[in-house]
Amino acid sequence: MKQLLILSGKGGTGKTTITSAFIKLGEAKASADCDVDAPNLHLVMDQLTEPERADYYGLPVAEINQNLCRRCGKCQEHCRFDAIKDGDGQYRINAFACEGCGVCEYVCPQKAISLRPAVAGELMLYNNDMVFSTARLKMGSGTSGMLVSEVKKRLKDAASADLAIIDGSPGIGCPVIASLSGVDMVLIVAEPSLSGISDMERILETAAQFKTKAAICVNKADTNPENTERILAFCRERDLPFVGKIPFDQNAVKAINNGQSIVDIDCPAGRAVDDVFNNTMDILVYEELK
């Protein structure tokens, strides 16, 4: 299974819009949403029936048995995550700050602390004529990278398709790094703003560190032609494949708000994405032949 991951560094450049179009254009039988912090792809997926749901257990969370606690304070002293607070005559664990390392349990002379499994999110697998794997991290949880790996594992286990299209999350940190693992190629959706260019450079650097091949497209390209030109020049300079420009198009917003993909309607953005898709697939297939 060839895996194409769509990333951007900066948020809101159009990852999900382009992912949903690519799924349609490639008639992909496998897809996943790795933006577990703020998943949206399911909102524009066709004919979703009820998914198979599963709880996701992240790292455990410490719990203090107040009956055994003698208030020595060793747990608080050793906790590196500031997750143990002394208040109302009791030491309490802040479950949001606790990373489940187990140091408090180890140092407690009273054996008053234990680590308990904790649900940190929910996994959803839609398995019809296409497989779609997604998840939602529970608010305030910190193990998004592990959940991303789980989303991808469930996709791989369930799907036997040739092509998988995967929507990524913004940023360059742990969920992005987890989503990069094992993919054949990344498409970076850049935006022609100074912020967009700076973020594109950082995500390209990250992809390169994990030795993942990257291609670049510019969304809303006509909103700042000079900056679009700068992105093109950057790609030429670094010998990075540039796969196309997509214009700003109000129809895109309308399509999304109707739960459609932009290639479901006839619009300039949809036509441009078609070219971007073909150029991207050429690179993905060419790499395979090499």
Partner 1 sequence: MKIAVLSGKGGTGKTLVSVNLAAVAEVSTYIDCDVEEPNGYLFFKPEDVEQEEISVQIPVVDQDRCRGCRDCVEFCNFNALAYTSDRLVIFDDVCHSCGGCVLVCPYDALQEEEKPIGRVERGVSEDVNVCTGILNTGEASGIPIINNLLDQETRGETLIDCPPGSACIVMESIAGADYCILVAEPTVFGVHNLDMVHELVELYNKPHGVVLNKCIGDDNPAEAYCRDQGIDILAKIPFDEKLGQINSNGRIAAREDDDFRQIFADLLHRVKGAGR
Binding region for partner 1 (CB under 8 A): 9-13, 16, 37-38, 40, 43, 59-60, 78, 80-81, 96-97, 99-103, 106-107, 137, 139-142, 144-145, 169-174, 176-177, 191-196, 198-199, 202, 205-206, 209-210, 223-224, 227, 250, 253, 256-257, 259
User: Is the Cβ–Cβ distance between 218 and 246 less than 8 Å?
Assistant: yes
Taking alpha carbons only, the member of 187, 225, 253 closest to residue 25 is 187
User: Is the Cβ–Cβ distance between 64 and 92 less than 8 Å?
Assistant: yes
Distances (CA, A) of 94 to 109, 120, 150, 218: 21, 14, 25, 43
Q: Identify the helix (H) or strand (E) that includes residue 166.
A: strand 163-167
Q: Using the minimum distance from each CB to partner 1, give the nearer residue, 163 or 166.
A: 166
Cβ neighbors of 205 (< 8 A, separation 6 or more) are: none
Q: How far is the CB of 197 from partner 1 (least distance, A)?
A: 9
Cβ neighbors of 13 (< 8 A, separation 6 or more) are: 189, 190, 191, 196, 219, 220
Dist. CA 147–CA 200, nearest whole Å: 24
Q: Using the minimum distance from each CB to partner 1, give the nearer residue, 222 or 274.
A: 222
Q: Using the minimum distance from each CB to partner 1, give the nearer residue, 114 or 193.
A: 193
Q: How far is the CB of 129 from partner 1 (least distance, A)?
A: 24
Q: How far is the CB of 223 from partner 1 (least distance, A)?
A: 6
Q: How far is the CB of 53 from partner 1 (least distance, A)?
A: 18
Q: Using the minimum distance from each CB to partner 1, give the nearer residue, 73 or 173.
A: 173
Dist. CA 6–CA 11, nearest whole Å: 12
Q: How far is the CB of 76 from partner 1 (least distance, A)?
A: 14
Q: Using the minimum distance from each CB to partner 1, give the nearer residue, 210 or 286.
A: 210
